[in-house]
């Protein structure tokens, strides 16, 4: 059987079966894609609406806005930005070492059988609503810390942090930072725990085989390998602390000035707490001022969270989802 | 049989030494405080301070002893173990204190009145949080109706239709970023949106639901995405091989397989969002009265009720504080039940991945 090969009249390839495009497929995939685009639109809308409503406050004459009491908008918002970072930094300072210690305890020190239960216990801390933390901080923690503040003023008053008259109620920025630390602890612990559990077992066993004690193994293998993950965990915690409203609003007695004094009753407020406290009675341009300060907070947390996620995504071991 | 007869136990502290050291440290601290107490009959020894000082004595003592007996490296190892264990117990302390406080103080007003009355015309004693509880349920329900379909469809897009596309990368990145939106910013956004739609000063229930939806959607998307990825590809391919269209495969094969995990994710998102005060404060406002219409007028929510009961204590502060604690107890109970229920569902109904 001969066939003519090559040449202009080559055999035609068999007809391909037509791809059937069903209506159901079109509708479903279209709506799925639409939902995805909606999310992007939502983020754009949040920024857009905040900008739209906050802009009048930035360009208006400060004399017209009663909330600013004569200062320009940036002068008014400056102490709030300082207070936001100051409270979050203090909280992170307390929470970070504790969280690393707890994560190490759960992953390397605790008996295997109860390790998951211990993890659940720490995750329970994350489930408590923030208003309950605020109530606990204001009613229980602040009065309990007050004698400590008096002691600090008496014995360590020469340090600028502990100078100045100790607050009578204990509702200072240090107490608020401690409540923030308790709220941020579960996040840092959970991410760090995942990081530590993913250390290559081979490296750990190699260190132990060379005669290292458990702490030396952790110091030379677990911590260096997990360094990027720990940093991103800390930044996630920072992002959460920056946006925390209720705990600070209920615990802090704020006067809105920049102050490094940790134990007095003169405390800087945070952006979020200020909005929560001032919004219910705000009217007119005051509302726009508060929305503008919310926009600044949004920008800050956006940057912090983006950097944290970028660090996480760079490490191929975990992509952000557990 | 002494320690020295075992060659491997030479140069090591006995196993009972740490416990003895702990008891000794605490005893020493207590004696110190008792002896140096002033002769004032009102003076109470602060047990917490005694315990803290005792633990410091214990740490220093054990470290010093270990350095002499075991050598520096092993002593540092013991110190690390003590610090790490301490860290864990320090973290448990606020949790235990919180639970004990909320349960004991919340039980005072945990009665039928609290769950059936509102705060209408109530000054001082009496009243309840029924209007707040109903408001929370209504607003959370509306937020779920908005966010669950959108979140689920987005995760379906990411997993089923969008692998490798650039749009997916953007969506995933921004969903991750949106999980970190401060809740008060979401509330301000909802307020700004409805201010443009309905005029300034608008505080309405649906605005609160919009704010909650902004917070819920990223959580739903991320957890559903994980659950959908867990469905084995063989199931999908078997359906395709039988000629089932893609959309029917997703509806009838993929979703039912992962429905347990998705339900868990949604319940956890609801639990998280039920405790949000800041966005509702800004968007839905404050009310003392029942309100069953989400499209009209302000609506109270349970976390807001707790917040206002504390911030604006009226003529009898005791009564307001008691209501606040009772509200806090109710809130914690609801959130805990949702959390535990979600994990139970995940454990019982999860597809058994063959191992």
Average pLDDT, chain A: 83
Is the pLDDT at B7 greater than 80, yes or no? no
Tell me if A213 sits within 8 A of B73, measured CB to CB: yes
Span of A78-82, A117-121, B52-56, B275-279 with lowest mean pLDDT = A117-121
Give the pLDDT confidence score for residue A178 in this predicted structure: 93
Cβ atoms of B136 and B115 closer than 8 Å: no
Q: How far is B340 from chain A (nearest CA, A)?
A: 10
Averaged pLDDT, A281-305: 87
| Partner-chain contact B247 A24, CB within 8 Å | yes
The pLDDT value given to residue B221: 92
Tell me the DSSP string of A89-139.
HHHHHHHHHHHHHHHHIIIIIS-HHHHHHHHHHHHHHHHS-HHHHHHHIII
pLDDT at position A8: 55
pLDDT digits (tens, 9 = 90+) for A139-174: 999 888 888 888 888 888 788 787 777 778 888 888
Interval B270-284 mean pLDDT = 89
Q: Assess whether pLDDT exceeds 80 at residue A14.
A: no
pLDDT at A96 over 50: yes
Cα separation of A140 and B335, whole Å?
Answer: 22
pLDDT at B217 over 70: yes
Tens of pLDDT, residue by residue over B160-171, are 888 888 888 888
Nearest CA to CA, how far is B40 from chain A (Å)? 18
CB contact (8 A) between residue A245 and residue B183: yes
Residues of A in contact with B280 (CB under 8 A): none
Contact status of B254 with chain A (Cβ, < 8 Å): no
Q: Do the chains contact at B281 and A276, CB–CB below 8 Å?
A: yes
pLDDT of residue A9: 55
pLDDT above 90: percentage of residues in chain A: 24
Q: What's the pLDDT at B144? A: 94
Q: What pTM was computed for the model?
A: 0.84
User: A246, B307: Cβ pair inside 8 Å?
Assistant: yes
Query: Over the range A225-241, which residues count as b (16 or more CB within 10 Å of their CB) and which as e?
Result: bbeebbebbbbbbbbbb
Average pLDDT over residues A182-195: 90
- The B residues from 52 to 111 touching A (CB cutoff 8 Å) are 73-74, 76-77, 79-81, 83-88, 90-92, 94-95, 97-98, 101-102
Q: Which of A38, A128, A292 to mutate to test the interface with B (most CBs of B within 10 A)?
A: A128
> pLDDT tens-digit profile of A201-212?
999 999 999 999
The per-residue pLDDT for A320 is 36
What's the CA gap between A175 and A172, in Å, rounded?
5
Note the pLDDT of residue A151: 83
| Chain A CB within 8 Å of residue B166 CB | no
Strands (E), chain A: none
- What separation in angstroms does the CA of A62 have from each of A69, A73, A79, B122? 8, 7, 17, 40
Tell me the DSSP string of B253-316: IIHHHHHHHHHHHHHHHHHHHHT--HHHHHHT---SS----TTSS----HHHHHHHHHHT--S-
Please tell me the predicted confidence (pLDDT) of residue B2: 47
B332 touches chain A (CB under 8 A): yes
The residue extents of the domains of chain B are: 3-109, 115-349
For residue B122, the model assigns a pLDDT of 76
Asked if residues B190 and A45 have their Cβ atoms less than 8 Å apart, the reply is no
Nearest-CA distance B269 → chain A (Å): 11
Residues 21-40 of B with CB under 8 A from A: none
Lowest mean pLDDT among A7-11, A255-259, B101-105, B313-317: A7-11
CATH code reported for the domain at A25-314? 1.10.3720.10
pLDDT at A319 over 70: no
pLDDT > 60? residue A179: yes
On whether any CB of chain A is under 8 Å from the CB of B156, the answer is yes
Q: Which residue of A has its CA nearest to B148?
A: A35
CB contacts < 8 Å between A and B, how many?
A: 265
- Cβ separation A216–B73 shorter than 8 A: yes
CB pair distance less than 8 Å for B176 and A320? yes
- Calculate how close chain A gets to B88, using CA atoms only, in Å: 5
What is the percentage of chain A residues whose pLDDT exceeds 70? 93
Judge whether residue A21 has pLDDT over 80: no
Looking at residue B42, what is its pLDDT?
61
Q: Which residue of A has its CA nearest to B89?
A: A102
Neighbours of B56 (CB within 10 A): 12
Quick check: A301 and B217 CB within 8 A? no
Most B CBs within 10 Å, among A135, A191, A232, A252, to test the B interface:
A135
Residues of A in contact with B274 (CB under 8 A): 129
Mean pLDDT score, B89-100: 89
Are B201 and A283 a contacting pair at CB < 8 A? yes
Cβ contact, residue pair A43, B90, below 8 Å? no
| Chain B residue with the nearest C-alpha to that of A137 | B98
Looking at every residue in chain B, the average pLDDT score rounds to 85
The answer to whether A39 contacts B217, with C-beta atoms less than 8 Å apart, is yes
Q: Give how far B246 is from chain A: nearest CA, Å.
A: 6
Which residues in chain A are closer than 8 Å to B158, comparing Cβ atoms?
Answer: 36
Q: Is B173 in Cβ contact with A36 (below 8 Å)? A: no
pLDDT of residue A322: 35
Q: Which of A266, A276, A303, A264 is nearest to A79 (CA)?
A: A266
pLDDT value at A104 more than 70: yes
B324:A42 CB<8 A: no
Question: In the predicted model, is pLDDT for residue A250 greater than 80?
Answer: yes
Q: What's the burial of A148, exposed, middle or buried (CB within 10 Å: 0-12/13-18/19+)?
A: middle
Q: How far is A296 from chain B (nearest CA, A)?
A: 10
What's the average model confidence in pLDDT over B4-31?
80
The chain B residue lying nearest A96, using CA atoms, is: B87
| Chain B residues touching A129 at Cβ < 8 A | 274-277, 303, 331-332, 335
- Topology (CATH level 3) of domain B115-349: MetI-like fold (1.10.3720)
**Is the pLDDT assigned to residue B3 strictly greater than 70?**
no
Band (pLDDT 50/70/90 cuts) for residue A315 is low
B346 or A64: whose pLDDT is higher? B346
| CB nearest to B195's CB, from A27, A53, A304 | A53
Average pLDDT over residues B199-203: 80
Each residue of B299-325: b (16+ CB within 10 Å) or e?
bbbbbbbbbbbbbeeeeeeebbbbbbb
What is the DSSP code (8-state) at residue B6?
S
First vs last Cα of chain A: how many Å apart? Answer: 63
d(C-alpha B75, C-alpha B81), whole Å: 10
Q: pLDDT at residue B340 above 90?
A: no
- Residue B143: its chain A contacts at CB < 8 A? none
Top pLDDT among B158 and A318 is at B158
């Amino acid at each position: 059987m001969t066939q003519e090969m090559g040449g202009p009249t080559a055999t035609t390839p068999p007809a391909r079966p037509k791809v059937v495009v069903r209506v159901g497929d079109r509708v479903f995939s279209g709506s799925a894609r639409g939902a995805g685009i909606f999310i992007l639109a939502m983020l754009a809308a949040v920024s857009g609406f905040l900008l739209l409503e906050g802009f009048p406050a930035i360009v208006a004459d400060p004399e017209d806005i009663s909330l600013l009491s004569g200062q320009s908008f940036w002068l008014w918002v400056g102490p709030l930005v300082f207070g936001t970072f100051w409270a979050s930094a203090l909280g992170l300072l307390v929470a970070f070492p504790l969280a690393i210690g707890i994560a190490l305890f759960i992953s390397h020190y605790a008996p295997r059988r109860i390790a998951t239960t211990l993890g659940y216990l720490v995750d329970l801390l994350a489930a408590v609503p923030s208003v309950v933390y605020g109530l606990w901080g204001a009613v229980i923690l602040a009065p309990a810390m007050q004698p400590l503040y008096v002691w600090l003023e008496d014995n360590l008053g020469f340090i600028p942090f502990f100078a100045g008259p100790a607050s009578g109620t204990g509702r200072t920025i240090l107490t608020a930072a401690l409540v923030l630390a308790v709220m941020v602890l579960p996040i840092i612990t959970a991410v760090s725990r995942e990081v530590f559990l993913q250390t290559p077992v081979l490296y750990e066993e190699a260190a132990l085989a060379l005669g290292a004690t458990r702490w030396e193994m952790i110091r030379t293998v677990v911590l260096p390998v997990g360094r990027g993950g720990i940093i991103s965990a800390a930044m996630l915690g920072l992002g959460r602390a920056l946006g925390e409203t209720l705990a600070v609003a209920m615990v802090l007695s704020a006067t809105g000035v920049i102050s490094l004094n940790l134990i007095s009753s003169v405390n800087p407020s945070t952006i979020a707490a200020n909005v929560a406290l001032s919004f219910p009675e705000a009217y007119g341009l005051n509302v726009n001022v508060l929305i503008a300060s919310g926009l600044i907070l949004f920008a800050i947390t956006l940057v912090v969270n983006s950097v944290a996620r970028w660090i996480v995504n760079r490490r191929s071991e975990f992509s952000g989802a557990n | 049989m002494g320690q020295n007869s075992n060659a491997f136990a030479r140069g090591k502290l006995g196993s009972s030494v740490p416990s003895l050291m702990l008891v000794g440290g605490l005893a020493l601290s207590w004696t110190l405080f008792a002896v140096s107490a002033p002769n004032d009959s009102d003076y109470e020894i602060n047990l917490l301070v005694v315990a803290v000082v005792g633990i410091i004595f214990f740490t220093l003592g054990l470290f010093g002893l270990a350095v002499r007996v075991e050598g520096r490296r092993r002593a540092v190892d013991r110190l690390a173990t003590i610090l790490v264990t301490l860290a864990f117990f320090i973290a448990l302390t606020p949790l235990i204190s919180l639970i004990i406080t909320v349960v004991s103080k919340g039980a005072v007003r945990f009665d039928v009145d609290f769950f059936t009355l509102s705060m209408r015309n109530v000054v001082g004693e009496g009243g309840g949080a029924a209007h707040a509880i109903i408001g929370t349920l209504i607003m959370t329900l509306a937020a779920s109706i908005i966010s669950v379909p959108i979140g689920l469809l987005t995760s379906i897009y990411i997993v089923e239709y969008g692998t490798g596309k650039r749009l997916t990368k953007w969506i995933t990145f921004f969903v991750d970023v949106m999980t970190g939106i401060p809740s008060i910013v979401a509330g301000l956004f909802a307020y700004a949106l409805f201010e443009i739609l309905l005029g300034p000063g608008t505080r309405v229930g649906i605005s609160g639901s919009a704010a909650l939806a902004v917070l819920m959607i990223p959580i739903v998307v991320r957890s559903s995405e994980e659950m959908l990825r867990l469905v084995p590809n063989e199931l999908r391919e078997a359906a395709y091989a039988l000629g089932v269209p893609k959309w029917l495969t997703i509806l009838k094969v993929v979703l039912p397989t992962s429905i347990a995990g998705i339900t868990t994710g949604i319940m956890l998102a609801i639990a998280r969002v039920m405790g949000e005060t800041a966005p509702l404060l800004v968007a839905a406002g404050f009310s003392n009265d029942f309100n069953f219409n989400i499209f009209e007028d302000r609506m109270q929510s349970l976390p807001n009720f707790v917040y206002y009961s504390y911030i604006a204590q009226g003529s009898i502060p005791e009564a307001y504080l008691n209501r606040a604690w009772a509200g806090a107890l109710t809130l914690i109970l609801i959130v805990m039940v949702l959390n535990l229920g979600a994990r139970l569902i995940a454990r019982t109904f999860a597809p058994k991945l063959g191992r």
